[in-house]
Structure 1
């Protein structure tokens, strides 16, 4: 015997499911501002982008159009630098390798590659070492020093090191000399050291993502300065999340070196503007900020958190350009944008999935230059906001790694989709059961 009431309720839930899913998607897509075109700056150079999930290095012209792309199999690319001879130095990791040293094959290998763009983009040289897994074991950054050495970050062993042209290690700094280390750093995403830049003499600025800190390390001396020092124990949980920092030696009552997440929260790719100024992608706060040192402490003096009306989503690179604008890599929105000190977007390009870092040519990343414009607090200085939907945020992050999501698709849309699926399933069951009764 049929049950009309069940069928009607089921049909209503199915209709409601369609409304819950289609309505928010349609409204968000229709109301998102259209990306502005590039201005008519005839001096703008090309832009080089390293893309993680896309596994590609691409150069875009002044109009944001693709010029060339080197794309590898099972590879992630990170920091990119165009050298004087025209080749591109790129940090990378590749999985499915058979030359694995102490690890069981297949393994991953990470290090740097040299890419020749002409006549067709191709890898001409590589230096790498084996790691057990591709996840959180990468060399994110590599730079050639004036000595001819290459300096790199090693996220697997949590160190910074240099190699000579023949591949031998000439110097290294181990993070265990400063932070309380786990028994085996390669078994956990402990510090996630993701950037190193030479800043003059034998000093390097190092980004320690999971500690919310930037370190100045002097060769032969160790850590000589800390940006965003640990001053409050209340911040520790931010750095302990996801098996990060911990009191591994059990000698500090659980205290760890954790910087204030209101200043920096799991940052990437800082640019050293000088002894008292740093520009940095404040990734987990979804903004880019400029920090100045005032009376012994570092403060946010300028920031921007959106472009073309769309909020940044996990920006991972920011470079101050000679014209005073800032080039920003907005990773989960799959775009690179150039904004003025007032936050106006004057150039943008869509990229492949998860761009990691971008360089405006011919400058690359300019470091420690007194002539580079600094902000004076006249721009937008956004405040930080906590993650209100952590589970949906994680789902959105995972989805954005495998597919290119439109900029208007936010974590709450996943909640709407899930709710729509539930309504549709329950409605379908009610319709089916109503017909059987």
Structure 2
């Protein structure tokens, strides 16, 4: 029989568990641009800037934004948050950026399909919009080809990559995946392909594409529409598992760096005569990475989406820079290197005294690792609806408090049923 002392004790324990959660909410400060930092946006050298886009939640207050950080201080010098989703961002010089954004409008339902996606070119220092045009719904990536032409990864029901001539308002080339692959090749969350990346190769004579639901990266010849090579196999998750944002580091030999999202790692592969050889990987602490760029110094710039951060790691796995940015960062760029810096493959760094080129191992696959992965999945899924300031510690305390209350309630139910 639960006594009054027992009830008071349980109540106090629950309050103690919830106190840090409440404190975190009261003390939480979102990213803001100070007056001094706003002035710095006008004169900060491009080599000191790092752009990070944050996808945001499905709610109007979901913290979707595009942020320019001072790399040395990690302080925002510019924030764009007009839209309710931000995806790919491409630097186009010292002051211009091209990015993908979704306008769901604040007065619409959080789950409304009445949304519009735009490609926007902007002078971020002045805030001037230079170009803005509508693109297919759900688009994650657009690549500027020069002139008034753009390569677009269309993950709508069209499931295609295409080249759009804006001045003519005309699609001048397209590749439809359903015409070249069987229905069984794709499917799953996000549609048939869930295309999330397109990069022009060889001056636009080929396109590197990432159909996420194919678990493959491929290079498509523009003229013949033939697939020159493919990295990965459908449902062979040891190679790739729902990858994002591959980068072609070299064509001789072919070397690809890719965010292997569901495997929670960034991995580099080199093409050989017999297939593909893994040459480098990094996965320490990563949870659903969605972007990776190799910098000229051999370091790798990574977006760690579910951990709400971007980081830079050495070939040996040392973290030399990181910044927090909720919610669900998608892309990170250093504008001084342009769109996709395409630094050296690990093979070109081997033997150098300046860097450590050993591969960084992944976490284990034992029972404890699987339980941890399952719990992490529950936490990251809950993050889409929970306030951003509820981090792992607050979530753990909240879960424990809820479990205690549920058990307490069960004891009370049994007790009162006994009385009846």
* Alpha-carbon distance between aligned partners in 2 of 1:118 and 1:367, rounded to the nearest angstrom: 22
- Structure 1 residue matching 2:403: 3-state secondary structure: helix
Cα separation, 1, equivalents of 2:163 and 2:241: 27
> What is the count of residue pairs matched by the alignment?
371
Alignment partner for residue 292 of structure 2, among 315, 318, 341?
A: 318
Alpha-carbon shift at residue 404 of structure 1 (Å) = 2.5
Q: Please give the alpha-carbon distance, in whole angstroms, between the structure 1 residues aligned to 2:81 and 2:279.
A: 39
Displacement after TM superposition at 1:129 (Å): 4.0
TM-score of the superposed pair, with normalisation by structure 2: 0.76
**Is the contact between residue 298 and residue 343 of structure 2 (CA under 8 Å) also seen in structure 1?**
no
2:59 is matched with: none
Q: Which residue of 2 aligns with 1:327?
A: 301
Q: Which residue does 1:355 correspond to in 2?
A: 329
Change (3 A) 1:186 1:262: closer
Secondary structure of 1:264's partner? Answer: coil
CA distance in 2, matches of 1:106, 1:224: 34
Query: Which deviates more, 319-328 or 368-377?
Result: 368-377
- Larger RCO of the pair (alpha carbons < 8 Å, separation 6+): 1
2:380 to 389, 397, 405: 397
Structure 1 counterpart of 2:403: 419
The Cα offsets for residues 333-363 of structure 1, whole Å up to 9 and x where unpaired, read as 1111111111111111111311100001211
Gaps of 5+ in 1: 26-41, 99-104, 132-137, 231-257
**Greater CA deviation, 297-306 or 402-411?**
402-411
Tell me: CA distance 1:387–1:317, structure 2 relative to 1, closer, same or farther (3 Å).
farther
1:90-129 alignment, distance < 5 Å: 90-96=99-105, 107-119=114-126, 121=127, 123-129=129-135
Instruction: Say whether 1:282 aligns with 2:260.
Output: yes
Equivalent pair of 2:289/2:302 in contact (CA under 8 Å): yes
Partner of 2:81: 71
CA distance in 1 between partners of 2:241 and 2:228 (Å): 18
What value does the CA root-mean-square deviation take over the aligned residues? Answer: 3.8
Q: Alpha carbons of 1:430 and 1:316: their partners in 2 closer, same or farther (altered >3 Å)?
A: same
Q: Does 1:305 align with 2:283?
A: yes
Give the distance between the partners of 1:114 and 1:177, measured in 2 at CA: 32
Q: Deviations over 1:207-240 (max 9, x none)?
A: 111121001111132242343343xxxxxxxxxx
Question: In structure 2, what is the Cα distance between the partners aligned to 1:320 and 1:305?
Answer: 15
CA contact (8 A) 2:136 2:154 kept: no
Of 188, 200, 211, the residue aligned with 1:198 is 200
Q: Give distance in 1, aligned partners of 2:395 and 2:180.
A: 37
SS of 1:324's partner is coil
Using structure 1 for the length normalisation, give the TM-score.
Answer: 0.73
Partner of residue 337, structure 1:
311
- Which residue is 2:155 aligned to? 155
Tell me whether 1:263 sits opposite 2:247 in the alignment.
Answer: no
The corresponding residue for 2:53 is: 50
Distance 1:216 1:130, change over 3 A: closer
Separation in structure 2 between the aligned mates of residue 322 and residue 143 of structure 1, nearest angstrom: 21
Given that 1:319 and 1:326 are in contact with CA atoms closer than 8 Å, whether structure 2 keeps it comes out as yes
Counterparts in 2 of 1:85-234, with a 5 A limit?
86-96=95-105, 107-119=114-126, 121=127, 123-129=129-135, 131=137, 138-146=138-146, 148-156=148-156, 157-166=158-167, 167-181=169-183, 189-201=191-203, 202-230=205-233
